Amino acid sequence: MFHSLLDYCDRFAGWILDESLDIVRSPFNASSRLYWVFLLSALVLAAITYKRYYHRDGPLRFAEFIKFVFPKSIYSHPSAIVDYKLFISNRLIGPVTLGPFAEGFSAALVASYVIGLLASAFAATWQGLPIGVGVILAFTIVYGLVSDFVTYINHRLHHQVNLLWPIHRVHHSAEVLTPFTYYRKHPLYNTVRLFISAPVLGVFQGITLFLFLGEIEALTIFGINAVSALFRIFGANLRHSHIWFSFGPVLNHIFISPAHHQIHHSARPEHWNRNYGEVFAIWDWMFGTLVLPSEEIRKNLILGVGIGAPQHHPTLAKVYLEPLVSMYEILTRRFRSARLAP
């Protein structure tokens, strides 16, 4: 027992050290949204926005542009301060939250079971499908679509299932948006997402690996999936920002632009439960949850869980505790209703 405790403490200390170093190395790690290439591309898109809406005449002045990109009123806002704290604290407490679940349950685990089932039924006669450039490209796109659809489902469930909404409300309680708002998540959000995504992605991966005898891989850019890399290059870091960037009337029906997601954060009731997608807008388009960016929305955008709604998460402690209290109250009301029902 004692040795097990020491072993866990040792692993926990190692995790803390690794995560601390990862935070520092984020600008040099392509798997992070804060990778320098993605930050640079966001600045280029921000310059296009600045020139289009705020500085149409004359040369682009660097000092004014920097003030536009990093306004003190936003980056020093109390809501943004909570984002910074949560970015660090969530990384450091990972072993206590997602860590144990990730070790015991994952898409890879599901995929291994699927491969085992298929192998026991067809391995004797199956020779594998041929692999070419077209197949690899198709696999990359299809995997991107499947992953994004799972994200859409997970996101929509967190909005429309009462018990899950308190977890996700942490993210929507942001009163200003910065790239760090992406990390404004309660630890339970990633845990729930794991149990939603792992079965779907695991089945897809298992079937694909069996069909191609485990030899197929997706196209990559900077060492990560090409779809994910392109998503990050074309404005992922502007999704949570004050910088409005739209892809235009045609592409806005296919891809989620930063402006789409800023609408998703709108406090106006007509924008609630809209634009759930992350990369592709086709899911929102198909299921009637798409709201296209417009000049009217841009000029009247207000952020938060509702106009005039109280701030439920003014501190780090509130971020972690308030959703748990709200979920407990929801469950308590349900049990009481069930007991009173005839």
CB 185 within 8 A of CB 172: no
Distance CA 281, CA 250 (A): 11
CB 166 within 8 A of CB 327: yes
What's the DSSP call for residue 262? H
Distance CA 41, CA 27 (A): 13
Angle at the Cα of 174 from the Cα atoms of 272 and 48, rounded to 5 degrees? 85
What's the DSSP call for residue 84? H
pTM of the model: 0.89
CB 247 within 8 A of CB 255: yes
* Residue 71: strand, helix, or coil: coil
Once rounded to an integer, what is the mean pLDDT over residues 221-250? 94
Least confident of 102-106, 108-112, 255-259: 102-106
Q: Which two tokens stand for residue 151?
A: 């994200």
pLDDT digits (tens, 9 = 90+) for 199-229: 999 999 999 999 998 888 889 998 899 999 9
Once rounded to an integer, what is the mean pLDDT over residues 315-331? 96
Least confident of 51-65, 113-127, 219-233, 281-295: 51-65
In the block, tokens 């039924």 appear at 121
Q: Which two tokens stand for residue 236?
A: 């992922």
**Contacting residues for 38 by C-beta, under 8 A, at least 6 apart:** 232, 233, 236, 237
Least confident of 28-37, 45-54, 57-66, 227-236: 57-66
Res 102 pLDDT > 70: no
* Residue 184: strand, helix, or coil: coil
At 213 the pLDDT is: 86
Other Cβ atoms within 10 Å of 41 Cβ, number: 18
Once rounded to an integer, what is the mean pLDDT over residues 250-257? 97
- β-strands 224-225, 220-221: how paired? antiparallel
pLDDT band, very low/low/confident/very high, at 108 (cuts 50, 70, 90): confident
Residues in the chain: 342
Res 187 pLDDT > 70: yes
CB 41 within 8 A of CB 234: yes
At 61 the pLDDT is: 81
